[in-house]
Amino acid sequence: MKYFSTLAVIGLMNAPILTAAADRLSPTEIVNVALRDNASIKAARAKWEMMKARVPQARAWEDLRAGVDSVTTRSVSIPPNSFMDQTAMLEQEVPVSGKNLSRARAATAEAGAAFEDLRRLELDVVSRARIAYARLANGYAQLEVNRRNEDLIGQFVQISRSRYEIGAATQADVLIAQTDAAKLLEMRADIERQISEAQSALNVLLNRSAQAPLDRPAALVFIPRALSLSTLQAIAIAHRPELQRAQSRINAERFRLELANRQWFPDPALNVKAQRYNDASQAISEVDVGISFPIPWLNGKKYSAGVLEARKSVENAQQEFDAARVEALGLVRDQLKKI
């Protein structure tokens, strides 16, 4: 199976709409570190590698079988060279039915599904990292606005007191100004809490200690984009991991159906036996070649049920794909409305 570049897809689906100034913590830096160090992504990548390792196992032939028989005791007297005393055997099942190829194709499709799980996790981490970064930058921006408002309210409190002292303002004016100053202090505490939460979220995504220090993010600049519903829906259909995973599952179930049908065709086992008579001077007295194979046709209910199960699995996978496709189109439409 050919796996396309995860980062290329992430770049396509997450084209930046927020840019950061230089010399500050940037969203690109955050995303790159998250993709490199996030523990959940590493676990999903290890699972994908594990699933890929199953493909050659599924494609391989059955192991060569070897056996040795030897007579240990005989309770009757027999003429020399009447019976075999030692037998050595080698047996190999030959997958002429192609069952191993069907298993390998199914395993390849399952590895493709694991890859889509990895890609979905990467996209989720990228999204969460960008959101946390935007909240952190927004928190610092609000903190700066709050600081300027505190300066203004502080000046207003001083002016109100001065006017009250000369009788040009009432005590209520002073109390209102002081109340506004207290509200700004409360807002400052809320903003600082939001900044702390955003820092913790970013550090967790970067696989760092929650309290690890982070540079201050650059101010964000919004770049408006012309977005077309039909274009976005086409991109979602082509690249959404849930749909790609559902398609991989359909492929895997189709190959399992192929395997279920091939169970009706037995794979022969070839064997070679080297035998030695009980009183022979030669190391090998006789060489026999044989063939054996199972008879599945006498157990028709078993294999018919297997084919029916595989066929229903294909149907189930197809219905799940159709449901995921409809859901994706609806999600794109709703998200575009929000934007």
pLDDT digits 0-9 by tens, 14-65: 433 344 444 578 888 899 999 999 999 999 999 999 999 999 999 999 999 9
- Confidence category of residue 224, pLDDT binned at 50, 70, 90: confident
Instruction: Give me the count of residues in the chain.
Output: 339
Q: What is the mean pLDDT of the chain?
A: 87
- Confidence category of residue 276, pLDDT binned at 50, 70, 90: confident
CA distance 200 to 240: 29
The whole-number average pLDDT for the span 99-104 is 96
pLDDT confidence of residue 10: 37
Question: Does pLDDT of 168 surpass 90?
Answer: no
Strands 84-93, 286-292: parallel, antiparallel or unpaired by DSSP? unpaired
Amino acid at 187: M
Beta bridge partners of 90: 66, 272
- Confidence category of residue 157, pLDDT binned at 50, 70, 90: confident
Identify the weakest region by mean pLDDT among 110-119, 181-190, 232-241, 257-266. 181-190
Check residue 299 and report its DSSP letter: G
Distance of CA 223 to the CA centre of its chain: 31
pLDDT confidence of residue 23: 55
Question: Does pLDDT of 307 surpass 50?
Answer: yes
Beta bridge partners of 89: 67, 273
Pair 237, 31: CB distance under 8 Å: no
- Confidence category of residue 292, pLDDT binned at 50, 70, 90: very high
Q: Where are the domains of the chain?
A: 13-134+264-294
User: For the purposes of burial, counting CB atoms within 10 Å of the CB of 112, is it exposed (0-12), middle (13-18) or buried (19 or more)?
Assistant: buried
CA distance 20 to 141: 13
More reliable by pLDDT, 326 or 184:
326
CA distance 324 to 242: 7
- Confidence category of residue 125, pLDDT binned at 50, 70, 90: very high
At 190-218, the pLDDT tens digits run 999 999 999 999 999 999 998 888 888 88
